[in-house]
Amino acid sequence: MTDKARSTKLACRNVWKVFGEGAERAFAKPVQRSLEARLAALRDGGHVPAVADVSFDVAEGECLVIMGLSGSGKSTLVRCLSRLVEPTSGEVIFEGRDLMRLSRRELTEVRRHKMGMVFQAFGLLPHLTVLENVAFPLQVQGVGEAERRKRALEMVGLVGLAGREDAYPRQLSGGQQQRVGIARSLAVGPDLWFLDEPFSALDPLIRKQMQDEFLRLQRTLRKTIVFITHDFLEALKIADRVVIMRDGRVVQIGRPADLVLNPADEYVARFVADVPLLRVITAGDVEEPVGGACAAHGGVSRSTPIEALLARLADVAAVPITEDGALVGQVTSAGVMKAVAAASARADRGWTVERA
């Protein structure tokens, strides 16, 4: 797959964030114990290990989604990645440089040119108009008035707010405010884009509309994205890979289909329980070796969702999978049935029984 060819844009190594008074000292105590024991000791001491020993890579142009229940440390993790929150320990490597080692000055430069962030609570400046808000990151860099205005107008148009440039944030609806937040985060043309539950505060209909627009934007911009949500359906739509967090720790990282078909534990299984299975799994997930003679004619790619093949599978026994025109495998109705049955059996019997 092409993923391997892409270079790593952002990586974090053993990142910890412990909240509470004297957290540094409590964390620095020498330990040879397991992660569990260490977490328990921190919690007993009245500290909050919001992020515990998290490591992963994000490839250039990838969209990585972080999920987890409320309080599982998603926001804190993302703030560690941008150093809005100072990690207690660990490395964050962005384009080959350890962010932890940057001076405040250098960090400001990185933020000015390479990073953008969208916030759940919008974070718009109440005293500035839409246009001024979008131009704000350029203004603090010292970009000239005309250039700033041109760029901001472009961004405002990009998110579909043309005509509302002179409105103030309080005069906008939630969806419009978040569009401003998105435009602002894109104004400097960042390589790395953080979004912390950008659509959670919006109504379901607006949320759907915003998701579609986000996808449209991403198709043209191709940014490297770290996106937080606790809506798995949202993750499904946009994610290349999903990180599931629980109590500050990463429980599982994988493609959405991996999580559905092979959840690492009950927590993940419950997360993905209500997912429309056929929309998630792809031809590649239920691929079988080609048995007898099967024509490559009408082949589909591995990433085709099964949902799209249902009509064909109702008529024929197998649909061929091709890669670069060559036949590599097939999807059969029986194979699909097996995957569905396994997943629903797991849901019926309950995860713990299955494990035992």
Partner 1 sequence: MSVLDIGRGEAAPMRLRLEPAAVVWICVALLILWCETAGGGVAALHAFPKAWTLPIATWIGDAVAALIGPTQGFFRQITAALTLPLSALQAVLGGAPWVITTAVAVLLAFRAKGARLAAFTAAVAAYVLVGGYWAPTMNTLAAVALATPIAVLIGFGLGVIGYRHAAARHGILVLLDLMQTVPTFAYLIPILVLFGFGPVVGIIASAIYAIGPMANNTMLGLAQVPLAVREAGEMSGCTRRQLFWRVEFPSARSQLLVGVNQTVMAVFAMVIIAAVIGGADDIGFRVLQTMRQAQFGQGLLSGLVIALLAIVIDRTTAGFAAASRAPVRRLSSRTLTVIACALAALYVAAWLQPALDAFPTEWTYSPAEALNRWLLAFVARFGDVMIAIKNSAIFFLMLPLRIGLIKAVSPFGWGFTLTPAMIAGYWAVATIAAGAALLFGGRWRAAFAILGVAWMLFLGTTGVAWPGFVAVVAALAWQVGGARLGAFALAAMAFIAFSGSWGDAMQSLYLCALAVVICVAVGGALGVWAAENDHVSACLRPVLDTLQTIPQFVLLIPVLMLFQVGEFTALIAIVMYAIVPPIRYVEHGVRNVSPEVVEASRQMGCSRLQILRHVKLPMALPSIMLGLNQTILAALSMLAIAALVGTQGLAQAIYVALSKADVGKGLVAGLSIALIAMLSDRMLKAWSRRAQEALGS
What the block records as the tokens of 78 is 């993302």
Region of 164 please: left (phi>0), alpha (psi -120 to 50) or beta. Answer: alpha
Residue closer to partner 1 by CB (options 116, 256) is 116
Region of 296 please: left (phi>0), alpha (psi -120 to 50) or beta. Answer: alpha
Residue closer to partner 1 by CB (options 83, 246) is 83
Q: How far is the CB of 107 from partner 1 (least distance, A)?
A: 9
Is 143 near partner 1 (CB under 8 A)?
Answer: no
Residue closer to partner 1 by CB (options 10, 313) is 10
Per-residue contact flags (x/-) with ligand ATP for residues 72 to 111, judged by CB under 6 A = xxxxx-----------------------------------
Is 230 near ligand ATP (CB under 6 A)?
Answer: yes
Q: Which residue has the tokens 């599931």?
A: 244
For residue 236, the tally of other CB atoms under 10 A from its CB is 20
Among 54, 64, 103, 101, residue whose Cα is nearest residue 243: 64
Q: How far is the CB of 197 from ligand ATP (least distance, A)?
A: 6
Is 79 near partner 1 (CB under 8 A)?
Answer: yes
Question: CB–CB of 272/251 below 8 Å?
Answer: no
Judged on CB neighbours under 10 Å (0-12, 13-18, 19+), 145 is exposed
Q: How far is the CB of 45 from partner 1 (least distance, A)?
A: 21
Among 302, 265, 264, residue whose Cα is nearest residue 282: 302
Per-residue contact flags (x/-) with partner 1 for residues 182 to 201, judged by CB under 8 A = --xx--x-----x-------
Out of 119, 153, 265, 328, the only residue in the binding site for partner 1 (CB under 8 A) is 119
For residue 90, the surrounding DSSP H or E stretch is: strand 89-94
> What whole-number distance in Å separates Cα of residue 242 and Cα of residue 59?
13
Residue closer to partner 1 by CB (options 45, 123) is 123
**Stretch 69-98 residues interacting with Mg ion (CB under 5 A):** 75
Is 120 near partner 1 (CB under 8 A)?
Answer: yes
Is 201 near ligand ATP (CB under 6 A)?
Answer: no
Residue closer to ligand ATP by CB (options 51, 281) is 51
Residue 351 binding partner per list ligand ATP, Mg ion, partner 1, none, with a CB distance cut-off of 5 to 8 Å that depends on partner kind: none
